[in-house]
Amino acid sequence: MSILKQREPLLAAMVVLLVVAVGLRAPAFLSAGSLANLVTDSTLLVMLALTQMLVIVTRGVDLSVASNLALSGMVAAMLGAHAPGLPLPLIVLAAVAVGLALGVVNGWLIGYLELPPIVVTLGTMSVYRGAVFVLSGGAWVSAHQMPAGFIAFPLDRLLGLPHLVWIAAATLAVMAWIARSTRFGRDLYAIGNAPQCAGYIGIPSHKRLPGTYALSGAVAGLCGYLWVARYAVAYTEIAYGFEFTVIAACVIGGVSIGGGVGTVLGAMLGALFLTVIGNALPVLQVSPFWQSALTGLVILVAVLINARGAGRRSRQILPLHGTGAPTERSAA
Partner 1 sequence: MPATQAPPVLQLTGISKRFNGIHALNGVNITIRAGECMALVGENGAGKSTLVKTLTGIYRPDAGTLSLDGKPVTFASPQEAMAAGITAVHQETVMFDELSVAENIYVGRQPVRGGRIDWAQIEREAEALFARLEVALPVKARVKDLSVAQRHFVEIARALAQDARVVIMDEPTAALSQREIRELYRIIDQLKAAGTAVIFISHKFDEIFAVADCYTVLRDGQFVAEGRLADITEQALVALMVGRAVHQAYPKLDADIGAPLLVVQNLSHPTEFDDVSFTLRRGEILGFYGLVGAGRSEVMQALFGLTPGVSGCVTLDGRPVTARSPSEAIGLGIAYVPEDRQHHGAHLTMPIQHNITLPILSRIGFFLSGRGKQEATIARHFAEQLELKASHLTQHVAELSGGNQQKVVLGKWLATDPKVIILDEPTKGIDIGSKAAVHRFIGQLVARGLSVILVSSELPEVLGMADRIVVMHHGRVQREFLRGEATPESVVAAASGLITEAA
Residues that bind partner 1 (CB under 8 A): 177, 180-183, 186-187, 189-190, 193-194, 197-204, 260-261, 312, 314-320, 322-327, 329-331
Q: 115, 4, 127: which is closest to 60 by C-alpha?
A: 115
Q: Which residues pair with 233 in a beta bridge?
A: 142
Number of neighbouring beta carbons within 10 Å of residue 242: 20
Distance between CA atoms of residues 316 and 74, nearest Å? 54
Q: 168, 188, 171: which is closest to 179 by C-alpha?
A: 188
Number of neighbouring beta carbons within 10 Å of residue 2: 7
Task: Give the C-alpha distances (Å, rounded to integers) separating 22 from 17, 19, 231, 247.
Answer: 9, 5, 26, 25
Q: 114, 104, 310: which is closest to 218 by C-alpha?
A: 104
CB of 259 to partner 1, least distance (A): 9
* Separation of CA 19 from chain center: 22
CB of 92 to partner 1, least distance (A): 25
Nearer to partner 1 among residue 208 and residue 230 (C-beta): 208
Nearer to partner 1 among residue 82 and residue 207 (C-beta): 207
Nearer to partner 1 among residue 25 and residue 183 (C-beta): 183
Number of neighbouring beta carbons within 10 Å of residue 205: 19
Nearer to partner 1 among residue 115 and residue 174 (C-beta): 174
CB of 330 to partner 1, least distance (A): 4
CB of 189 to partner 1, least distance (A): 6
Give me the DSSP letters along 11-31.
HHHHHHHHHHHHHHH-GGGGS
Query: The dihedral of CA 60, 65, 71, 72: what is its sign?
Result: positive
Distance between CA atoms of residues 171 and 318, nearest Å? 44
Q: Which residues pair with 328 in a beta bridge?
A: none
Nearer to partner 1 among residue 36 and residue 186 (C-beta): 186
Helix (H, G, I), strand (E, B) or coil at 321: coil
CB of 256 to partner 1, least distance (A): 8
Half-sphere exposure of 48 (CA within 13 A, CB side): 33
CB of 201 to partner 1, least distance (A): 5
CB of 95 to partner 1, least distance (A): 27
CB of 263 to partner 1, least distance (A): 11
Distance between CA atoms of residues 303 and 45, nearest Å? 19
Nearer to partner 1 among residue 13 and residue 325 (C-beta): 325
Nearer to partner 1 among residue 72 and residue 212 (C-beta): 212
Nearer to partner 1 among residue 123 and residue 195 (C-beta): 195
